[in-house]
Amino acid sequence: MDAKIFISYETTTGKGNAEHLRRALIKAGIKDVFVADVSLKKGVKWKSEIEYALNKCDIFILVITALTSLSEDVKKEWAKAKRKGKRIIPCRYAKIKTCDTDEFGELQQLDFEDNSDLANKVILEIQDAVEKKESGVSIKEDAKEQLRRGNLSFVLKNFSEALKEYGVSTTLKPEFKDGWYNKGVTYLKLERNKEALEAFEKALKIDPEFYQAAIAKAYVLSELKRNDEAEKILDEVIKNDPNNAEAWARKGMISEKAERYMDALGAFEQAIKIEPENPCYICLGSDVLGKMGELKQKADKLKEVIKIKTDCADLSDKIGYTFGILKLYDEGLEYIEKLIADNPESGKPWLNKGILLARKKEHELALEAYNKALGLEPENGCFWCYKGDVLGELSLFSAQSEALVKASERKPDCDKVWFKRAEALSDRDEQNEALNSIDKSIELKPNKAEYWVLRAAILAASGKGEEALISYDKAIAIDDSQPCTWCLKAIALRNLNYLDESLEIFDKVISLRSGCPYAWYNKAMSLSANQQPERALEAIESSIAVESEDAEIWDYKAYILRNLNRLEDALFANKKALSLKPYNPEYRYSRACLLSLLGERDKALLELSRAILSESKYKKIARDDEDFACLADDGGFKKLIEN
């Protein structure tokens, strides 16, 4: 065959495939085959050599492996090959599961199982390209060539360009079902669901037994909330092709959306039975178990996945969340380390290492992990969000603010980023800015109850109690099943001095969920406000019996005990709060007050200095605080609180 070939690949994952393909093509009689690592001689200027090879080649072959879409070199080579009008043959490693990529489903393209399969298929494609060239069929007139170009643009995440190229392929060949199918998949990526539906329907009109298009159509219908139609299509596919694992998986997803979890689990189990080594289906089943509250079983499923596959960075999200909730921190970290080793270019495993460490309250180590994640993906807004969280835990508030600003700059359309920023601003008592941020979240996602809850809390902190009640009612209208929301409404009522109404709500929540520590805690606060400290102490003890690792609850116990003049007991409760949140300046300040009241002057000064070091506002507060009366004439105290 008379053809000059340029093989492009991602070095870490595709080098072996590319080199084997080169040897096979040379053996088949194609002498001019360029593969960078093999074809470049030592000492040559490699950029100019690659440019020269691209200029003279007839056919540009791209070997698509797991990390191809991250390679800037591949993107540049493809752009040059396209600009120079080269014929394209993209070849995708078939074992890359669609759950590892951004694809809805596998495109209609050249997939290869191993090196021999790759060589055989590429040789046939080259023969076809050479015949077309000899017959005078130009690239612009070749529907299959336009499909290939679209596939490559899709893999490199240039979806608008892919759509144009698929459009050319179907214009050249209106009965080209693969072109219509791939066009539909691309519309899905662009969230243009109605156009995707039309494209899949055209593919099915050409070939009614094109089951992949039928499954895709069912998916779009489910996205358009036409679930009955979607299930009917999937049932028909399964009837005609009972071993179609993807159809079973899509059926499971629809059942999961409808909260028919047992049906969903059954469908995913069928998919797993057909393809037992497919980690995507096991992950889907594990997600359903999580929603059913079976977190231990979910963790076991994730362990199965890791045995099969450790090169999927997205797995770390599931492990970080599940093992964190189960408090299996060390086991979770062990699995995360494997994912870090096998996904060296992804920040996600590092992020989830940070999440697990933060749950362990190892905040400095968590910060190190988040910095590693950002070193790999500095433009990831979510990573900046998590870094902001842990900086807040470390009381590094200026750095926290900077991190959250960076998060919102990088993801301005992400409701969660604005939510996190609002939380941090509110914690720092910057309520006007916090309100602006949470309003941005609500603008992006108006039906998210937790956003209305935070808005209400910000309004309450701004002294706008009646407005806060309206926002709490909005949250309850969206989701009335959350005891915390009811409790927060009760707090707002208490702050407006509606004490009886407040206690009534807390008692109602406790009657329904006696194990809700938050309800007991806030009942204690309402009882304190109602001048019933002994009953308040009983309520806070009930809260601690349910949740003994919450610093805020221990801090409030210290407050109640102090009001009962049980200062030694209050100091013990404060110590427990500080053991859980050692960097909290408010707890440090409370400790300084207690030590001063107990006559422990030196210790009181030390704790006060630590509080002021974290938050300078405590200088002013200490000046007017009668708890420090015994230190009024102390030189060290005067120096500490001076402007």
Residue numbers of the domain that contains 392: 310-406
- State the average pLDDT over residues 258-284: 89
Q: Which two tokens stand for residue 499?
A: 């004490």
The reported pLDDT for the residue numbered 291 is 83
Residue 219, in any domain of the structure: yes
Phi-psi region of 157 (alpha: psi -120 to 50; beta: other; left: phi over 0): left
For tokens 């049932």, name the residue. Answer: 235
Instruction: Give the CA distances from residue 29 to residues 91, 143, 322, in Å, rounded to whole numbers and listed in that order.
Output: 20, 27, 54
Helical pair 449-461 and 483-495, crossing angle rounded to 10 deg: 20
One domain, residues 265 and 330: no
Residue pair 394/388 in contact by the 8 Å Cβ criterion: no
Q: What is the pLDDT of residues 540-579, one digit of tens each?
A: 999 999 999 999 999 999 999 999 999 999 999 999 999 9
Q: Give pLDDT tens digits for 208-245.
A: 999 999 999 999 999 888 999 999 999 999 999 999 99
192 three-state secondary structure: coil
Percent of the chain with pLDDT over 90: 52
Number of compact structural domains in the chain: 3
Q: Which of 582, 531, 220, 259 is nearest to 393 (CA)?
A: 582
Is the residue at 153 inside a domain? no
Residue 547 lies in a domain: no
Q: pTM value?
A: 0.56
Percentage of the chain surpassing pLDDT 70?
A: 95
What sections of 360-482 are H helices per DSSP?
363-376, 381-393, 397-410, 415-427, 431-444, 449-461, 465-478
Residues 263, 233 within the same domain: yes
Beta carbons within 10 angstroms of residue 259's beta carbon: 9
Average confidence score pLDDT of the chain: 88
User: HEC string of 495-551?
Assistant: HCCCHHHHHHHHHHHHHHCCCCHHHHHHHHHHHHHCCCHHHHHHHHHHHHHHCCCCH
Within a domain: 265:
yes
For residue 380, the domain's CATH number is: 1.25.40.10
- Last residue of one domain, picked from the residues 307, 341, 373: 307
Contact 470, 455 (CB under 8 A): no
Under the banding of pLDDT at 50, 70 and 90, the label for residue 136 is: confident
Q: Do 316 and 293 share a structural domain?
A: no
Cα–chain center distance at 396: 24
* 296 and 326 inside one domain: no
- Does residue 302 sit in the same domain as residue 255? yes
Task: Please report which confidence band the pLDDT of residue 482 belongs to, taking 50, 70 and 90 as the band edges.
Answer: confident
**Phi/psi at 457 (nearest 5 deg)?**
-65, -40
Q: Please, are residues 105 and 193 in contact by the beta-carbon 8 Å criterion?
A: no
Residues 274 and 314 in one domain: no
Q: How far is CA 495 from each of CA 425, 502, 506, 520, 537, rounded to the nearest angstrom?
A: 21, 9, 14, 17, 20
The larger pLDDT score, comparing residue 211 to residue 530, is at 211
Domain boundary among 307, 328, 360: 307
Tokens of 50: 């690659």
Confidence grade of residue 320 (pLDDT, cut at 50, 70, 90): confident
Residue 360 lies in a domain: yes
* 244 and 270 part of one domain: yes
Q: What was the pLDDT predicted at 99?
A: 42
Closest CA to 57 of 3, 119, 128: 3
SS3 4: strand
Residue 38 belongs to a domain: no
Per-residue CA distances from 629 to 466, 528, 592, 602 (Å)? 38, 25, 12, 14
pLDDT at 103: 45
Same domain for 231 and 251, yes or no, is yes
Q: Choose one of 307, 341, 358: the last residue of a domain.
A: 307
Regarding whether 266 and 246 lie in a shared domain, the answer is yes
